[in-house]
Structure 1
Amino acid sequence: MSIISKNSLIHQIILSLEADLDTVKAQARGAHDAATHEESAAENKYDTFSLESGYLASGLSRRVREIEQSLQAYRDLAPRAFDDDDEIRLTALVTLDDDARLKYFIGPGAAGLVLSFEQVDVRVITPQSPLGQQLLGKAVGEDIMLMQKGVQTPASITDIV
């Protein structure tokens, strides 16, 4: 994969984050409106609709900030090319021997996002994730342990780009 292709992948991640941001902002506005609407005032001590809507609005507002931070990190990201003997770092696209149809992109945010890119699925992981922590500093041919369905499974790194 060339730097141009990696830039395309990053662009696709940015587009996905922008769509998520629009959705979460709309949800946050709706929750805020529900929490502050005059008809949402508690009718008795057991009526917690307004309180629950306020908690939801607060959580969604935090999610908006997280997505905005991830967006900025991806907009500032400079991808690099990796050779098989390079150590895995940020912007590496890693293939493990457990599933050649799935690659892992080490990114600064958006952990868990899965995209279809160049006929494979790409799962975004961060350096802070358990898998990211295992992969950082490793090279092709080295082994890691994957947690699959509660069971530790060995896997080897087969490619880094």
Structure 2
Amino acid sequence: MNKKEILAKVISEVEQLFAQALTAAQQAHNAAIDDQSVAETQYDTLAIEAAYLAEGQSRRITQLKEQLHILSKQSSDAKQQITIGALFTLEYDNESTSGSSVSKHFYLLPCAAGTCITLTNKEFLDGQKVYVLTPESPLGKVLVGLSIDDDFSVAIGANVQSGFVSAVY
């Protein structure tokens, strides 16, 4: 599996979110204009709540459209440093397992943060999860510009995570 296939999986995940958001927006819109939603007293706020929900869903649809547009233009060229479009592996220090490290795989993209895909290619990271990061995330800010064997340390909440970059694709 190459980076183009991984990017295609990320786009597919965002497309699924987009389809779900469209359905939710239509349902919220229908609820807002339904005859049953008409206020019967000054305390009856069902129609107002449904309208707020429809507006929020519309904003979510706009965000997802923008993400799909950005991702469709994303390059999958090989990288030497962690920059947008880099697929990379981090080795985390793990004191709880007698000093052994834990590997995690990430894809730095301009959007779709939090998306997680499981790879299904026998030749490349089979069965491994790849997490999408953005440069705006706390971890992304620290990692941008690093290369293989560079160390990192980042405070996320009360936890400090440290390790090194073991591979950049």
What is the aligned-residue RMSD (CA, Å)? Answer: 1.5
Match of 1:91 in 2: 85
Shift of 1:149: 6.7
User: How many residues were matched structurally?
Assistant: 154
Shift of 1:153: 2.1
Which runs of 4 or more aligned residues in structure 1 lie more than 4 Å from their structure 2 counterparts after TM superposition?
none
Deviation sequence 1:71-92 (CA, Å, 0-9, x none) = 111111111102xxx2211111
Shift of 1:108: 1.8
Match of 1:121 in 2: 129
User: In 1, distance between residues paired with 2:64 and 2:74?
Assistant: 15
Give 1:58's aligned amino acid: E
Match of 1:145 in 2: 153
Shift of 1:148: 5.7
Counterparts of 1:11-22 in structure 2, within 5 Å, are 11-22=8-19
Asked if residue 56 in structure 1 is aligned to residue 53 in structure 2, the reply is yes
TM-score, length of structure 1 as denominator length: 0.89
8 Å Cα contact 2:4-2:76 kept in structure 1: yes
Tell me, which stretches of 5 or more residues in structure 2 are unaligned?
Answer: 93-101, 120-125
Asked if residue 31 in structure 1 is aligned to residue 39 in structure 2, the reply is no
Match of 2:65 in 1: 68
User: In 2, distance between residues paired with 1:51 and 1:144?
Assistant: 48
Match of 2:143 in 1: 135
Give 1:114's aligned amino acid: C
Give 1:8's aligned amino acid: E
TM-score, length of structure 2 as denominator length: 0.85
User: In 1, distance between residues paired with 2:54 and 2:164?
Assistant: 43
User: In 2, distance between residues paired with 1:90 and 1:154?
Assistant: 21
Match of 1:79 in 2: 76
User: In 2, distance between residues paired with 1:116 and 1:62?
Assistant: 28
Asked if residue 110 in structure 1 is aligned to residue 112 in structure 2, the reply is yes
Shift of 1:5: 0.7
Give 1:88's aligned amino acid: I
Match of 2:99 in 1: none
User: In 2, distance between residues paired with 1:43 and 1:20?
Assistant: 35
Give 3-state SS (helix, strand or coil) of 2:2's partner: helix
Identical counterparts, % of pairs: 29
8 Å Cα contact 1:93-1:160 kept in structure 2: yes
Give 1:105's aligned amino acid: Y
Shift of 1:145: 2.2
Give 3-state SS (helix, strand or coil) of 2:39's partner: coil
User: In 1, distance between residues paired with 2:151 and 2:50?
Assistant: 46
Moved more, 4-13 or 21-30: 4-13
8 Å Cα contact 2:38-2:47 kept in structure 1: yes
